[in-house]
Amino acid sequence: MQRRTLRTIVRFLFRHLSRIHVIDMDHVPRSGGCILAVNHLSRLDPALVFALVDRDQVTALVAEKYQKYPFFPWVVLTVGGIWINRGEADLRALRLARDLLRSGGVLGIAPEGTRSHTGGLIHAKTGAAYLADKAGVPVIPVAISGTEGAVWRALCLRRPRITIQFGEALYLPTLGREEREATLQRNTDEIMCRIAAMLPEKYRGVYADHPRLLELRYKS
């Protein structure tokens, strides 16, 4: 009940304090485990995904540093979030995430590992691609723009324009014993280039000139 109430409140706030344009929400499966790989501009991003994705078992990996913030621990507990130490290979968190996905849950991950302070994509870590392989689930690339500075604009009664687009499900190549690290990196680049392809040019950051992004843009 607390979870549903929280989602209702968050939806209400987004609806009345911002202008949200949602694209291709139907790419999110109605059942079964999947990873939502999202670019990260603001602390609002996880809340936005939680509010929009109407699945009972949707949660996210959350950096342990937020345990010290008021109210955050209660929110994370309510949504079943998984605390992760981003400074190391947190095997406990990864196992919990894998089990959640295998049980049919939806897990939001910011592959970049932290917020971008420039607005453009930064180099991603390989955790999302690794979990997709371990859990055997697809990755849904998600591109968000407009959340940077959105809180201040809302407080100034200037409703920010936010766009969120969901891409087609990615079924990434399996990680074999040979060239494992290279395949993991290629899978990670594929996720990020799919996100970049849905973003306005100024948000593409370090992936702006990636050959795979140029290929995706040419095909579109």
pLDDT in tens, 22-77: 999 999 999 999 999 999 999 899 999 999 998 888 999 998 988 888 888 999 99
Residue spans of the domains in the chain: they are 2-219
Between strands 58-63 and 106-109, the pairing is: parallel
For residue 205, what pLDDT is reported? 96
Decide: pTM greater than 0.85. Answer: yes
Q: How far apart are CA 41 and CA 128, in angstroms?
A: 17
Q: Are 39 and 144 in contact (CB under 8 A)?
A: yes
CA 79 to chain centre: 15
Q: What is the residue-averaged pLDDT of the chain?
A: 92
Q: Pick the residue with more confidence: 144 or 218? A: 144
> Residue ranges of the alpha helices (H) in the chain?
2-17, 44-52, 72-78, 91-102, 127-135, 150-155, 180-198, 211-219
For residue 27, what pLDDT is reported? 97
For residue 220, what pLDDT is reported? 64
- Locate 155 and state its tokens: 């407080």
Q: How far apart are CA 40 and CA 112, in angstroms?
A: 7
Average pLDDT for 157-168 = 92
The architecture that CATH gives domain 2-219 is 3-Layer(aba) Sandwich (3.40)
For residue 156, what pLDDT is reported? 74
